[in-house]
Structure 1
Amino acid sequence: MTPPARHATVATPPGPFSVVVTTGTDGEDVVLAAGWTGDVADLLPVVHRSLRPTWVEHAGSLPVLDTVEAFVGGDVAAIDAVRVRQRSGPFLEDAWEVLRTVPAGQPDTYAAFAARCGRPSAVRAAANACARNAAALFVPCHRVLGSDGGLGGFRWGTPVKRWLLDHETEHAPVPVPVEA
């Protein structure tokens, strides 16, 4: 039996952002799904069937939404510590972990992301990992671009992806050059 889940929504510049959480074994919230929608019904189908809650109650607010507001306020690293739970095959689960290592303000191409995943020839599989990511923002699939530098796709629309990339570029820490 899947544990009960809660959902809540917060306003963001590109639109309403909703999150579905469950409680981890340590009592802390874990994100199952997130995205730019005001309707929780848009999120539940992307949760793996083994994790999909049988019911979800409206929480009004959730602590993770404070993190979203910090991100929107310019702390683009705030999302890095949010716990997520996704299930699939080994490549997708590994790829989702690797997505969390793509720095804000320094997007990868699908080819570079595939190489980062240890499978440089698996560009389509890398793109599939982005497309099947249920925890948008916290697993930042928006940080992966087409090989031509174009936006590529995004479940929540390319205007949202463009806003995220521009926001992160504006607020990301400037990397310190390494001297040779």
Structure 2
Amino acid sequence: MSPTTLDFSLIDTAVGPLSLLAGADGGVRAAGFTTDPAELLPLIHPELRGPVRQRADLGVLTAAVRSYLAGELTAIDDLPVDQRGGAFVSTAWSVLRDVKPGDPVTYTGFAALAGRPRAVRAAAGACASNAVALIVPCHRVLRSDGTLGGYRWGLPVKKWLLQHERQVTDRGR
């Protein structure tokens, strides 16, 4: 069986371009703040990789991300995601999607939400191995002292995303 072609598109953001890679079924397989899809391919499970073709727009995916950037923070919540990991990592990724914008959690709190309160390092590892930045919002996890910690796409991007979400949620209160 030949690999599925992945559709690739760039979306301009205030902190640089966001790349999306999606399968034929529309599930996002990778997303990151880079212009180079080759930088995203190694993040995708080997069984989900394939040749890449560029598209100007990915329809519903592009529209949802643009809505998020315009202040509709829940627009990305139901986007389909296709990434694979072990049992804990998959659970952790699912839990990340429930962390609300403007209400980040600590790695300790994230580990507890994922069902393993003592597995703080494993929770951090789930964030580090997340291929679908923004849509699986690992940027919403902070160190226990409230500092940013790490982020594959750089701390300025993480800081901007958190500020964007905080500003939008503060306006809505």
- TM-superposition CA deviations, 1:117-151 (whole Å, max 9, x none): 01000000000000000000100000000111110
- Given that 2:7 and 2:24 are in contact with CA atoms closer than 8 Å, whether structure 1 keeps it comes out as no
What does 1:103-114 correspond to in 2, within 5 Å? 103-114=100-111
Match of 2:6 in 1: 5
1:20 maps to a residue whose letter is L
1:23 maps to a residue whose letter is A
Partner residue of 1:73 out of 33, 52, 70: 70
- Aligned-pair CA distance for 1:77: 0.7
TM (norm. structure 1) is 0.91
- Residue 23 of structure 1 aligns to a residue in which SS? coil
Partner residue of 1:62 out of 55, 58, 66: 58
1:11 maps to a residue whose letter is D
Partner residue of 2:44 out of 36, 44, 47: 47
**% identity of equivalent residues:** 48
1:101 and 2:101 matched: no
Give me the CA root mean square deviation: 1.4
State how far apart, in whole Å, the 2-side matches of 1:78 and 1:40 are: 23
Moved over 2 A (4+): 172-176
1:62 maps to a residue whose letter is L
Alignment length (residue pairs): 171
State how far apart, in whole Å, the 1-side matches of 2:6 and 2:58 are: 11
Match of 1:144 in 2: 141
1:31 and 2:28 matched: yes
Match of 2:130 in 1: 133
2:117 maps to a residue whose letter is P
TM (norm. structure 2) is 0.95
Partner residue of 2:164 out of 147, 167, 176: 167
- Residue 81 of structure 2 aligns to a residue in which SS? coil
Match of 1:15 in 2: 16
- Aligned-pair CA distance for 1:172: 2.6
State how far apart, in whole Å, the 2-side matches of 1:68 and 1:162 are: 18
Structure with the largest fraction of helix: 2
- Residue 53 of structure 2 aligns to a residue in which SS? strand
State how far apart, in whole Å, the 1-side matches of 2:3 and 2:119 are: 33
- Residue 65 of structure 1 aligns to a residue in which SS? helix
- Given that 2:21 and 2:37 are in contact with CA atoms closer than 8 Å, whether structure 1 keeps it comes out as yes
- TM-superposition CA deviations, 1:86-141 (whole Å, max 9, x none): 11111111110000000100000000000000100000000000000000010000
- TM-superposition CA deviations, 1:46-94 (whole Å, max 9, x none): 00111111x1101121121111111110011111011101111111111
- Which ranges of structure 1 fall in alignment gaps of 5 or more residues? none
2:148 maps to a residue whose letter is L
- Aligned-pair CA distance for 1:4: 1.2
- Aligned-pair CA distance for 1:174: 7.9
- Aligned-pair CA distance for 1:6: 0.7
